């Protein structure tokens, strides 16, 4: 008993140390299990809180009706393009930064971080301008209902106008994680989402002299929370004693470094654009069956993200460990990191899929009282949950490829699986076979299985180990 208590206290102390993240650590020399704990725990907590915000957001918006929820669903499907670009730049910069940290070249890592900031600003501003000009046209093309077009377009307008903040938030946090400072990234996202959660009900429903902004208030709350978090990120960047710092880096453009980031980011942006564009088209297929069906699917996806984001935290840990260990020349340790984290993720996803299969309506009824919305959400959760355990391994291996700087392999995988398999299959089953939304859900499961099988095959070939960054 004393032995078990001692082990528990040691583990608890390590967990608290990981969350505090007070000092930089060398993840290329410390034990693999401890490295995973110190990286994965804050990354998982970071994304757990992000998923909590997503549920809180849809909870308040859900009180405005199915059309309001559908507006969020369409906007989020469009925002995945912004996330794709942000994550693409972040992953590319991370691959370079993690290598430089592994090579003990922290000054060069700082130069890469600064050039990433320049690139993020330009890209974010460009996307914001396009979003402001085209949001109405895009919503019409997505099949939005007349009520959405008349009353709810303030939500996508504010969301798209503040895109540059989103790009900064994602790319800078990616740099922190690449340097092994996962606890810093966790605190940044917690700050953004805590502010967001507090402001959501105030701005949506009004409070005292603050007028009720409706669904637009949800977008304003998000923009304020993320904007304050980005200011905090810049503050951290200038603090001394970190793996990299902007404190003594000359503020000049380095086209060669930006070009290197862009070359790598094309692959990761391509992956994300392929995946997210398929999600947009999938939303369009589901929207064909009405706002009630679309609302049920939107809530189900938010619930899935609640449990998938922690799994992405584990995947991010694999990316950092692979990159830093390849930089240090520890090829075998890099491979072990990916497999170890991958099988942990399989166990996590098995637990999630069991919960969704047994108790779907328990979660869905919290966000909507409409019977058709709950019925569609239940169907979506139960079907998609079947593929989650297998997908748990696939998502880790994809991130391991990117952490190694091999962005081409997962890009080709995504192109084949999502565009040439998932979407045609979804349309065929949903419309051609008249399975309706159920057909789209089964297409998602099929693509999850296929992606994982092909990822395992490519990972075992081992070409990713010799990618130069």
Answer yes or no: is pLDDT of 3 > 80.
no
User: Which residues, other chains included, contact 111 with Cβ-Cβ below 8 Å and sequence gap of 6+?
Assistant: 249, 254, 257
* pLDDT band at residue 277 under the 50/70/90 scheme: confident
pLDDT at residue number 459:
93
* pLDDT band at residue 4 under the 50/70/90 scheme: low
Q: Which domain holds residue 38?
A: 33-464
Tell me: the pLDDT tens digits for 209-253? 888 888 889 889 989 999 999 999 988 887 776 666 677 777 788
Answer yes or no: is pLDDT of 112 > 80.
yes
Q: Tell whether 295 is covered by a domain.
A: yes
Quote the CA–CA distance of 426 and 439 in Å, as a whole number. 6
Give me the chain's average pLDDT, please. 83
pLDDT at residue number 241:
63
Q: Where are the alpha helices (DSSP H) in 22-65?
A: 32-62
Tokens of 428: 């065929």
Tell me: the pLDDT tens digits for 93-102? 888 888 888 8
Q: How many distinct structural domains can be found in the chain?
A: 1
* pLDDT band at residue 457 under the 50/70/90 scheme: very high
pLDDT at residue number 326:
87
Over range 271-278, report the average pLDDT. 79
Q: Tell whether 164 is covered by a domain.
A: yes
Q: Tell whether 3 is covered by a domain.
A: no
Q: Tell whether 5 is covered by a domain.
A: no
Name beta bridge partners: 210. Answer: 207
Name beta bridge partners: 207. Answer: 210
Over range 406-425, report the average pLDDT. 91
pLDDT at residue number 270:
81
Q: Which residue has the higher pLDDT, 214 or 416?
A: 416
pLDDT at residue number 242:
66
pLDDT at residue number 107:
81
* pLDDT band at residue 2 under the 50/70/90 scheme: low
Q: Tell whether 18 is covered by a domain.
A: no
Q: Tell whether 240 is covered by a domain.
A: yes
Over range 97-116, report the average pLDDT. 83
Answer yes or no: is pLDDT of 280 > 60.
yes
User: Which of the listed ranges 83-87, 247-251, 299-303, 409-413 does the model predict with the highest average pLDDT?
Assistant: 409-413
CA atoms within 13 A on the CB side of 152: 23
For the four alpha carbons of 248, 252, 257 and 261, in that order, the dihedral sign comes to: positive
pLDDT at residue number 193:
86
Lowest-pLDDT choice from 364-373, 423-432, 456-465 = 364-373
Q: Are 407 and 468 in contact (CB under 8 A)?
A: no
Q: Tell whether 20 is covered by a domain.
A: no
Q: Tell whether 451 is covered by a domain.
A: yes
Over range 24-53, report the average pLDDT. 74
pTM for this entry: 0.74
């Amino acid at each position: 008993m004393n032995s078990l208590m001692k082990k528990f206290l040691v583990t608890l102390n390590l967990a608290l140390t990981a969350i505090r993240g007070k000092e930089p650590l060398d993840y290329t020399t410390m034990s693999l299990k401890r490295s995973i704990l110190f990286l994965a725990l804050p990354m998982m907590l970071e994304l757990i809180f992000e998923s909590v915000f997503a549920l809180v957001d849809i909870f308040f918006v859900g009180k405005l009706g199915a059309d309001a929820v559908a507006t969020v669903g369409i906007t989020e499907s469009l925002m995945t393009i912004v996330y794709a670009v942000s994550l693409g730049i972040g992953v590319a910069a991370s691959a370079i930064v993690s290598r430089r940290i592994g090579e003990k070249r922290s000054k060069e890592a700082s130069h890469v971080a600064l050039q990433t900031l320049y690139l993020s600003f330009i890209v974010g501003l460009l996307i914001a301008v396009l979003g402001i000009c085209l949001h109405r046209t895009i919503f019409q093309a997505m099949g939005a209902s007349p009520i959405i077009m008349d009353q709810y377009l303030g939500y996508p307008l504010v969301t798209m106008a503040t895109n540059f903040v989103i790009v900064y938030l994602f790319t800078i946090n990616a740099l922190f994680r690449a340097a092994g400072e996962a606890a810093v990234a966790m605190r940044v996202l917690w700050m953004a989402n805590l502010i967001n959660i507090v402001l959501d009900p105030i701005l949506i429903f009004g409070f005292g002299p603050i007028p009720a902004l409706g669904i637009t208030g949800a977008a304003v709350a998000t923009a304020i929370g993320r904007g304050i978090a980005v200011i905090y990120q810049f503050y951290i960047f200038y603090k001394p004693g970190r793996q990299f710092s902007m404190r003594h880096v000359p503020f000049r453009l380095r086209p060669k470094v930006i070009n290197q980031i862009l070359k790598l980011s094309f692959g990761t942006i391509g992956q994300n654009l392929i995946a997210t564009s398929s999600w947009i088209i999938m939303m369009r297929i589901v929207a064909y069956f009405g706002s009630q069906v679309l609302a049920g699917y939107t809530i189900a996806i938010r619930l899935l993200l609640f449990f998938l984001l922690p799994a992405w935290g584990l995947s991010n840990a694999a990316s950092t460990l692979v990159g830093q260990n390849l930089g240090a020349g520890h090829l075998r340790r890099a491979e072990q990191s990916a497999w170890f984290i991958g099988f942990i993720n399989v166990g996590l996803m098995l637990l999630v899929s069991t919960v969704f299969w047994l108790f779907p309506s328990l979660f869905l009824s919290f966000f909507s009282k409409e019977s058709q919305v709950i019925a569609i959400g239940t169907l979506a959760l139960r079907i998609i949950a079947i593929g989650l355990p297998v997908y748990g391994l696939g998502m880790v291996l994809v991130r391991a490829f990117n952490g190694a700087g091999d962005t081409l392999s997962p890009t080709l995988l995504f192109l084949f699986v999502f565009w040439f398999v998932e979407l045609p299959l979804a349309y065929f089953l949903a419309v051609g076979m008249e399975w309706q939304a159920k057909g789209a859900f089964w297409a998602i499961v099929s693509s999850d299985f296929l992606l994982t099988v092909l990822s395992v095959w490519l990972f075992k070939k081992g070409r990713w180990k010799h990618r130069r960054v």
